[in-house]
């Protein structure tokens, strides 16, 4: 049976905003009766409003090799809001020939006047984040090759940085336009054991991106999302990402791990009755691990959708290069929509935003909203 994804995204906007994201992500493959998953208790709902301050997490450990120019930080006019928007047609192809008149923007169901639109003219600050725990460590070389190819496809004004996380969250390279510096930083990725996925997202959004600028912001994360070590919750990380206006593109190895575990489970279940009984502990463990991967995949899909990013599920690590190339292509064909909110209140409230096109066959994608300035 499908494990119900928790609906923490819906609770982000509070009762007054009433937003929910459908979780029903279709599972990547069907299972036979021998692969049936045990029943699980649904994940309880959580309320972001009641969480208070996030738990303490480690600070990013910076390497001495830095390249941050004060001139790269641009003050943003808090009366104007920018939303990066990706538009695809019914076949999933990127659409890059739209004009401002093709879009409609709604804030809390009230249509907003668009002040400007730009395509490929707004630089992007993108951090590549790699889960260097045991589930990914043996394929770090595949990530390095994919990351090199991704960096080569960025524009000259785009900035890139690198974070690796396992038992620790470590900044290997601060913001830079130098592809040479990025190449050197990739060689410093070393494997760890456990995964601090939530902590890594929280630290990247709060400590690494900093105050909102006029640049587009994206985090591309290679991970299965399984996290038992973080001090932060996924809900806390999501809220911080939306506050920092960071779109999250997740390259998930859940499908790769699931296929490996299903093969192992088939082998154990295909033995004699005595062998199955002898291996029952391992069989139960594998079923629970597959269940955890299914749940994590649903959570990752919601996280990507809420921030305006995308979830990718390559079937092998050999496919990483094409996956990262697809993300780079999307960033190159992304619109930047600007509007000045009609609601002038500086109350720090969450404003839900919806972007539509006049052509109903097109599918725009952006983050679910933003937090108004306060004070």
- Note the pLDDT of residue 136: 85
Class in CATH terms, 60-70+121-332: alpha beta
- Note the pLDDT of residue 371: 92
Per-domain residue ranges for the chain?
60-70+121-332, 80-117+335-371
Orientation angle between helical segments 140-152 and 179-186, nearest 10 degrees:
180
- Note the pLDDT of residue 59: 53
- Note the pLDDT of residue 295: 96
Q: pTM here?
A: 0.80
C-alpha closest to that of 224 among 194, 189, 251: 251
Q: 318 phi and psi, to 5 degrees? A: -65, -20
Q: CA 66 → CA 173, 178, 189, 196, distances in Å? A: 6, 11, 16, 24
Within 13 Å, how many C-alpha atoms sit on residue 341's CB side?
24
Going residue by residue through the chain, which has 375 residues, state the pLDDT in tens, using 9 for 90 and above: 333 333 433 333 333 333 333 334 333 443 433 344 444 444 444 434 444 444 444 455 544 443 433 333 333 345 789 999 999 999 999 999 999 999 999 999 999 999 989 887 899 999 999 999 988 888 999 999 999 999 999 999 999 999 999 999 999 999 999 999 999 999 999 999 899 999 999 999 999 998 887 889 999 999 999 998 899 999 999 999 999 999 999 999 999 999 999 999 999 999 999 999 999 999 999 999 999 999 999 999 999 999 999 999 999 999 999 999 999 999 999 999 999 999 999 999 999 999 999 999 999 999 999 999 887
- Note the pLDDT of residue 213: 79
- Note the pLDDT of residue 338: 94
- Note the pLDDT of residue 60: 56
- By DSSP bridging, strand 169-176 and strand 159-165 are antiparallel
d(CA 180, CA 162): 13
Orientation angle between helical segments 140-152 and 320-332, nearest 10 degrees:
30
């Amino acid at each position: 049976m499908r494990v119900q994804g928790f609906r923490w995204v819906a609770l982000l906007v509070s009762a007054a905003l009433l937003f929910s994201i459908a979780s029903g992500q279709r599972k990547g493959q069907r299972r036979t009766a021998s692969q049936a998953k045990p029943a699980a208790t649904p994940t309880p709902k959580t309320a972001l409003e009641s969480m208070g301050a996030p738990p303490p997490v480690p600070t990013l450990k910076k390497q001495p090799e830095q390249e941050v120019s004060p001139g790269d930080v641009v003050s943003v006019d808090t009366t104007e809001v920018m939303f990066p928007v990706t538009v695809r047609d019914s076949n999933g192809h990127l659409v890059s020939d739209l004009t401002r008149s093709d879009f409609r923007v709604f804030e809390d169901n009230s249509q907003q006047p668009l002040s400007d639109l730009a395509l490929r003219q707004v630089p992007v600050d993108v951090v590549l984040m790699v889960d260097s725990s045991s589930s990914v460590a043996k394929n770090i070389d595949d990530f390095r090759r994919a990351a090199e190819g991704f960096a080569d496809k960025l524009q000259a004004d785009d900035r890139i940085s690198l974070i690796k996380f396992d038992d620790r969250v470590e900044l290997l390279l601060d913001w830079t336009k130098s592809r040479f510096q990025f190449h050197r930083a990739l060689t410093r990725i070393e494997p760890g054991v456990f995964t601090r996925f939530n902590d890594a997202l929280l630290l990247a959004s709060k400590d690494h991106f900093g105050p909102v600028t006029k640049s587009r912001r994206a985090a591309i994360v290679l991970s299965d999302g399984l996290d038992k070590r973080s001090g932060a919750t996924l809900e806390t990380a999501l809220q911080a990402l939306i506050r920092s206006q960071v779109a999250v593109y997740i390259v998930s190895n859940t499908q790769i791990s699931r296929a490996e575990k299903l093969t192992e489970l088939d082998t154990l279940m295909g033995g004699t009755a005595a062998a199955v009984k002898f291996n029952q502990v391992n069989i139960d463990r594998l079923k629970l691990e597959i269940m955890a991967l299914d749940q994590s995949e649903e959570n990752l899909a919601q996280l990507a959708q809420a921030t305006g990013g995308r979830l990718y599920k390559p079937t092998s690590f050999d496919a990483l290069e094409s996956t990262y190339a697809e993300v780079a292509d999307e960033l190159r064909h992304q619109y930047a929509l600007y509007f000045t909110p009609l609601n002038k209140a500086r109350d720090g409230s969450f404003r839900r935003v919806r972007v539509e096109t006049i052509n109903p066959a097109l599918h725009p994608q952006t983050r679910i909203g933003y937090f108004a300035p306060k004070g």
